[in-house]
Structures are given as structure tokens and as C-alpha cells.
Amino acid sequence: MAEAHAKKRIAIFGSTGSIGTQALEVIRTYPDLLEVEILTAQTKEDLLIAQALEFRPNAVVIGEEKKYEKVKAALASTDIKVFCGEEALEEVADFDTYDIMLAAIVGFAGLKPTLKAVSKGKMIALANKETLVVAGDIVMKTALEKRAPIIPVDSEHSAIFQCLVGESRNPIEKIILTASGGPFLGKKPNFLVNVKRDHALQHPNWSMGAKITIDSATLMNKGLEMIEAKWLFNLEPHQVEVVIHPQSIIHSMVQFEDGSIKAQMGLPDMKLPIQYALCFPERMKSSYPRMNFRKYPALNFEEPDYKTFRNLGLATEALQKGGNMACILNAANEIAVWAFLKNRIGFLDITAVVEKTMQQISFIEKPTLQEYFDSDGEARNFAANLMKL
């Protein structure tokens, strides 16, 4: 009995981000069930300090080393351990003292600490989709060997995961990932060519970190999610389908072999999939606003515009090709999105950079982990040169 009531100790990697801060809201709501063991942040030291003083974790990591002294001094009167730098992320991921890692770092930077936690057999609440895009085969194989459960936090994958509860013996015919279409749904290249950063950062349905918001505008986010889904649910590329659903009420669907389709629905709010992952297999009572069908006389669905949003085609190619292709796509995209956010390249250039990088970097059919790191580095260098960064 005692064990069933013990609190789950959560390590939030990327606690100052959009997912990280919403996860802390969830933990604040269920203090009898969840507690914070580790918090990590790259740059926002003031927010990290405030979070640490409120939630009293065992340890915090500040990525930027020059901020270490400030964080250390601010927490000097507590017994919270303070670490800094990239390697510290793996060191704290290696701690025995937490139960669930919430992987909420953005981008490739999340891979190493997440893989460390997986190799320790920890439960992972996975928001950081790039971990699976880059090295999905190695991450999933390790998870299987070490019996590390990976519970998706990405809303589409959480939806699919929820649809699959109780269906373990029933093969999936296909999954249907829904996409809002982002702020530029229906627009054509002659419009997109002039799009600026601030416009692309306005997402109609979700408030998220900058990188994923741009990925949603270019539809690369859906491309990354196709690859994420392949690894999470052990699918063949042809079993992953995308449909545009502008209202973001159906978060995704599973079609079984009898033709029956299950969908998971709700108002778009990331706290729901975060909470589901942290509390799994229980569903906790919540007071979030409820869906009222009368306010949605129609839910719409349409085919994505592959001609305009070519990232979807590039991601499909990477999905089909396998090997290090998705790693290359991801690296080029990360650096191109960064350049776009700095107003260094145009909106359509993001896709051009990804495409050229995919053509240029050597393909490896079955990469080792080191080869994934090398491909990531090569792709970043090539893309940076292309953009004259």
C-alpha cells in the first residue's frame, strides 16, 4: 500500500520552456502525487531559481556556465545541488533518485540525457520528439532492452497512445496524425516568400516554444511527428498518414484492421497530455475547460498541400529512407529555423536548406550512435555554410 501512495519524483529536463512550465503547473495541482527531483534550464536562470525555490528539487542544472555562480549563490541557503554545463545533464540523468524523466529540452540537445535515462530503465515522458527523429532505432532498442517505458507527451502521440490502451493484441492498420495546418494554412509560395518571423510565431491553436512554432508553420513539425510515430508505435512508413484538421480538437486517430477508427479528442491544452504521461496509467480529475460540441458545428479535414509545404515531402522521404536521413533533416532544420528566427534567411529558405543538406551529406544505412552525432555535426556545418552563417 505504502508504495502505491509514494509520490512520483519527476526530473524535468527543460523546465523553463513551454512544456517545462506547464508540467510544473500540473505538479503544483497534484502535490500529493507528484514532486520535483531535478530541474534543468539552458539560459533563463532567474526562472530556474524561482522554480527551485518553490519546488525544492534535489538538484538543478544551468546550461550556460557563466550563470552558475549566480544560481549557486541564489540557492546557497538551501540544500539544492547546483550543476552547470552540457555534461551535467547526463550526470543528473544518471541519478537513481527520480522516477520519471520529462524530456522537454528542445532539439538534438535532448538526445544524450534522454538516452542516459532510457539506458537506466527510467520511465520517460517524452516531449522532445527530436530524440526519436535523430536516433529512434537506438533509443527504442535500448528502451526495450532496459524495459524503460516511453510515454509520449506530444499531443498527437499521446492521442494515439490513449487510443491503444487495451488494444495490445490488435494490430494497427494505420495511424492518422492530425495537423492544424499552422498560421499559413491555405497560403501559397508567393505569400510565404515574404513571411517574417513575428508572423510565423503566431500559431492559431497552441502557444509553444519558438522552434516548434516555426516548425508548425512550415509543417516540418508534422514531418518530425511522422518519424516520431514510426518509432513509438513500431510502424511501417505507409502506415503513417497526415490529415489537416484546423480546429485541433481530434488530436489523432488509430485505424484498426477491422476498419474501426478510434480518435482522442479534447480542447487543445498541453497540460492534458503532460498530466496523462506523468500520472499514467491513472487519469487524474482536472478542472480544465471542457469541450462543448455545440460550439463546434463542424470539424474539418483536408489533404495537406504538399506542393507548398514541401517539408512534409522531405520528411516522408527521410521516413522511407531510414538510416541517418532523418538525423540530417533534423540538423539542417534546426539550424535553418535558428537562422530564420534571427532574420538571416527567408521562410521558404528553411525548406531549401533542408533539401540541399539531405542531398549532400553521406547516407549511412545503419548508423552507430557516434555516426548519428557525426552526421548531425556535418549537416549543421553544411547548412551553416550554405546560409553563410
Quick one: cell of 72? 549557486
- Choose one: 17-25, 250-258, 280-288, 330-338; the region binding ligand NAD (CB under 6 A): 17-25
Site for ligand NAD in 85-114 (CB under 6 A): 104-106, 109
Kindly tell me which residue out of 10, 11, 18, 217 binds ligand NAD, with binding defined by CB under 6 A.
18
Residue of the chain from 35, 37, 45, 154 that contacts Mg ion (CB under 5 A): 154
What whole-number distance in Å separates Cα of residue 123 and Cα of residue 118? 7
Among the residue ranges 3-11, 125-133, 143-151, 354-362, the one whose residues contact ligand NAD (CB under 6 A): 125-133
Q: For residues 227 and 129, what is the distance between their CA atoms, to the nearest angstrom?
A: 9
- Specify whether the CB–CB gap between 15 and 41 falls below 8 A: yes
Do residues 351 and 311 lie in contact, with contact meaning Cβ atoms separated by under 8 Å? yes
The C-alpha atoms of residue 262 and residue 149 are separated, in whole angstroms, by: 23
Per rule CB under 6 A, is residue 378 in the interface with ligand NAD?
no
Among 139, 270, 312, 350, binds ligand NAD (CB under 6 A): 270
The residue range among 13-21, 77-85, 90-98, 275-283 that interacts with ligand NAD, by the rule CB under 6 A, is: 13-21
Stretch that binds Mg ion, among 78-86, 92-100, 152-160, 290-298 (CB under 5 A): 152-160
| Three cell numbers, residue 222 | 508534422
* Among 141, 126, 84, 135, CA closest to 108: 135
Does position 255 interact with ligand NAD (CB under 6 A)? The reply is: no
Cell of 336: 535553418
**Residue written as grid cell 479528442:** 265
6: Cβ contacts below 8 Å, ≥ 6 apart: none
Q: Considering the complex, what minimum distance in angstroms separates the CB of residue 301 from Mg ion?
A: 17
Nearer to ligand NAD, 42 or 58 (CB): 42
The rounded distance, in Å, linking the Cα atoms of 210 and 205 is: 14
Please name the amino acid found at residue 26: V
Our CB check for Mg ion shows the closer of 114 and 155 to be 155
Backbone angles phi, psi at 111, to 5 degrees: -65, -50
By a kind-dependent CB cut-off of 5 to 8 A, residue 16 interacts, out of Mg ion, ligand NAD, none, with: ligand NAD
Question: Which of ligand NAD, Mg ion, none is residue 209 near (CB under 5 to 8 Å by kind)?
Answer: ligand NAD
Which cell numbers in the block locate residue 169? 493484441
**Do residues 215 and 333 touch, judged by C-beta distance below 8 A?**
yes
- We find the least distance from the C-beta atom of residue 31 to Mg ion, in angstroms, to be 28
Instruction: Indicate whether 43 belongs to the interface with ligand NAD (CB under 6 A).
Output: yes
Using CB under 6 A, pick the residue from 39, 45, 57, 63 that binds ligand NAD.
Answer: 63
Residues that bind ligand NAD (CB under 6 A): 14-20, 41-43, 63, 104-106, 109, 127-130, 154, 206, 208-209, 211-212, 270
